Amino acid sequence: MSPPVQPDARPSEAPLTPFDLAMTSYLYEAMTGYGQALDRFWSRIGTTDNLDLVKDDHRRALLKFLNDWGCRNLAVAWHSLALAELDSWYEATRERIDAFDGPTFEAQNRRDLIEVYDDLSGRIIAHRKSKGGELSISFGPTATSKTLFVLRPELFPAWDGAIRTKLGHQDDGESYVEFVEHAHHQIRGLNRLAESSGFAIESLPQMLGRPSYTTLVQLVGEYYWITLTRSVSLRSRDEVTTWTSWSAASD
């Protein structure tokens, strides 16, 4: 396991606002096809069903989704090995995963999540020839977070290398748990801001016209993908207010 990053090594970050999530939700939908990939995934699984990795067709749908979501380490030619490792991992960790329930992440589940994450991330799912011989490819931190996201969409955000690096995290389970806790801290702040504006934060995905399965954790993950992975600088509320005033002036 990588050594934990000291708290003062992480960049400071302002609390998120519903305005931030509204803007990045729009940009995410406009800039990527990842939303459509998630639609296809849930249409294969059924939005009224939970992902069950005991089922072979669910594991295959997951690997297809992970490929569509940019996990190039999961080479299609090696899917048979990845399917077997997912089956083994899920059998070993299912009881712990079932304990991850409800809309918030509980502190008592911290150690379980670290171990569940590290177990899957380190599993070898492909081999590749290199100049020095054969290279073993692991499931990895990005695909692991995306797997946990679709297993528990209300609890676990997806992340990638850029998000980890720019927030000062490592690849291991300890860092992922810190990111999960940070995401839920942001959601608690969003809830307070939404209440002061007269609406429930849980209704935000619907207000933004997102599919019914969209969660706040998903929107927070999209915020970090837009601002950190894609390095998009968001416009300020004052700028957007000025732009809307131009429209009003032309009426």
Instruction: Count CA within 13 A, CB hemisphere, residue 243.
Output: 6
Q: Answer yes or no: is pLDDT of 123 > 90.
A: yes
Between these two residues, 102 and 211, which has the higher pLDDT value? Answer: 211
Q: Which residues contact 138 (CB under 8 A, 6 or more apart)?
A: 73, 121, 122, 123, 124, 125
Longest dimension (CA), the chain: 69
Do 51 and 62 form a contact (C-beta atoms < 8 A)?
yes
pLDDT tens digits along 60-86: 999 999 999 999 999 999 999 999 999
The one-letter amino acid code at 209 reads: G
Quote the pLDDT of residue 64.
97
Which segments of the chain are extended strands (E)?
Answer: 124-130, 133-138
- By CB atoms closer than 10 A (0-12, 13-18, 19+), residue 90 is buried
Read off the pLDDT band of 47 (50, 70, 90): low
Partnered with residue 129 across adjacent β-strands are 134
> Looking at the whole model, is its pTM more than 0.75?
yes
Residue 249 DSSP SS3: helix
Do 35 and 28 form a contact (C-beta atoms < 8 A)?
yes
Q: Answer yes or no: is pLDDT of 1 > 50.
A: no
Helix orientation angle between 56-68 and 79-99, rounded to the nearest 10 degrees: 100
Quote the pLDDT of residue 2.
42
User: What average pLDDT score do residues 98-121 get?
Assistant: 92
pLDDT tens digits along 129-158: 877 788 999 999 999 999 999 999 999 999
Do 53 and 59 form a contact (C-beta atoms < 8 A)?
yes
Quote the pLDDT of residue 107.
87
Region of 123 (left: φ > 0; alpha: ψ -120 to 50; beta: rest) is beta
Quote the pLDDT of residue 130.
78
Read off the pLDDT band of 49 (50, 70, 90): low
